[in-house]
Structure 1
Amino acid sequence: MNTHIHRLLDEAFDGVTMSPEVRELKEEVRANVMARTEELEAAGASPADAARQAIDELGSVEDLLGAPVAPGMPDARAGKAPNAADLHARNKVRPNPGFVVRVTLLSVAATAAVVLAVLAAFEVVGGEARTVLALGLAGAALLGFITADSLRQETTSNYAMPLGRAALWGLATFAGVAALAAFGAFAVDTSAVALAIAGGVLALVSIGLFSWLGATQTNRHKAWVRELGADYSAHQGGAQWSDPNAAARFGMYSGAIWVAGIGAGVALAIIFAWWWSLVVLGVCIVLTMIVQASTMFRSTKD
Structure 2
Amino acid sequence: MKDRIKKYVDNLFSEIYETKQLRELKEEISANLLERINDLIASGNSEEEAFKKAVSSLGDMDELVENLKKASQEKLQQNMFEAEALDKKHLIAYITASAILLFGIMTTGIVYLRNKDLMATTGTLMPFLIVSVLIFMYFGLTQETKHSYGMRPGRALLYCLATAILLFGIFSTGFVYFSGRKLFEVVASFMPFVIPSAVIFIYLGLTEKNRTKMNDVWQKQWLEYYSDPKAMMIRGNISGALWIFSFAAFFLIGFTVGWRYSWIVFIVATGIEVLIEGFFMARKKG
Match 2:267 to one of 283, 286, 295: 286
State the alpha-carbon separation in 2 of the partners of residues 294 and 110 from structure 1: 36
* Deviation string, structure 1 residues 221-240 (Cα, Å, up to 9, x no partner): 45x5465226689xxxxxxx
Q: In 1, are the aligned partners of 2:253 and 2:259 still within 8 Å (CA)?
A: no
Q: Is residue 2:165 matched to residue 1:175? A: yes
Which residue is 2:227 aligned to?
none
* Deviation string, structure 1 residues 57-106 (Cα, Å, up to 9, x no partner): xxxxxxxxxxxxxxxxxxx96xxxx7998354378743214313421441
Question: TM-score normalised to the size of structure 1?
Answer: 0.54
Which residue is 1:256 aligned to?
245
Greater fraction helix? 2
Which residue is 1:211 aligned to?
202
State the alpha-carbon separation in 2 of the partners of residues 116 and 292 from structure 1: 39
State the AA in 2 paired with 1:151.
L
Q: Is residue 2:272 matched to residue 1:301? A: no
Unpaired runs of 5+ residues, structure 1, are 7-19, 36-75, 234-241, 269-275
Using a 3 Å threshold, how does the CA distance of structure 1 residues 26 and 229 change in structure 2: closer, same or farther?
Answer: closer
Q: In 2, are the aligned partners of 1:146 and 1:170 still within 8 Å (CA)?
A: no
**Where in structure 2 are the equivalents of 1:48-197 lying within 5 Å?**
86=77, 88-89=79-80, 93-107=84-98, 109-110=100-101, 113=104, 126-191=116-181, 196-197=187-188
* Deviation string, structure 1 residues 186-222 (Cα, Å, up to 9, x no partner): 3432238766533343233333322221111134445
Using a 3 Å threshold, how does the CA distance of structure 1 residues 299 and 24 change in structure 2: closer, same or farther?
Answer: closer
Q: In 1, are the aligned partners of 2:250 and 2:262 still within 8 Å (CA)?
A: yes
Using a 3 Å threshold, how does the CA distance of structure 1 residues 27 and 210 change in structure 2: closer, same or farther?
Answer: closer
State the AA in 2 paired with 1:159.
Y
State the AA in 1 paired with 2:21.
V
* Deviation string, structure 1 residues 115-152 (Cα, Å, up to 9, x no partner): 9879989x996424254144224312321232122222
Question: TM-score normalised to the size of structure 2?
Answer: 0.57
Q: In the comparison of the two structures, how many residue pairs are matched?
A: 225
Indicate the structure (1 or 2) with the bigger Cα radius of gyration. Answer: 2
State the AA in 2 paired with 1:218.
K
State the AA in 2 paired with 1:30.
L
State the alpha-carbon separation in 1 of the partners of residues 84 and 108 from structure 2: 37
State the alpha-carbon separation in 1 of the partners of residues 269 and 153 from structure 2: 28
Give aligned-pair identity as a percent: 13
- How much has 1:286 moved relative to structure 2? 3.3
Match 1:31 to one of 2, 11, 23: 23
Using a 3 Å threshold, how does the CA distance of structure 1 residues 155 and 295 change in structure 2: closer, same or farther?
Answer: farther
Using a 3 Å threshold, how does the CA distance of structure 1 residues 107 and 196 change in structure 2: closer, same or farther?
Answer: farther
* Deviation string, structure 1 residues 234-288 (Cα, Å, up to 9, x no partner): xxxxxxxx9544433221112122234434544x2xxxxxxx5523542334334
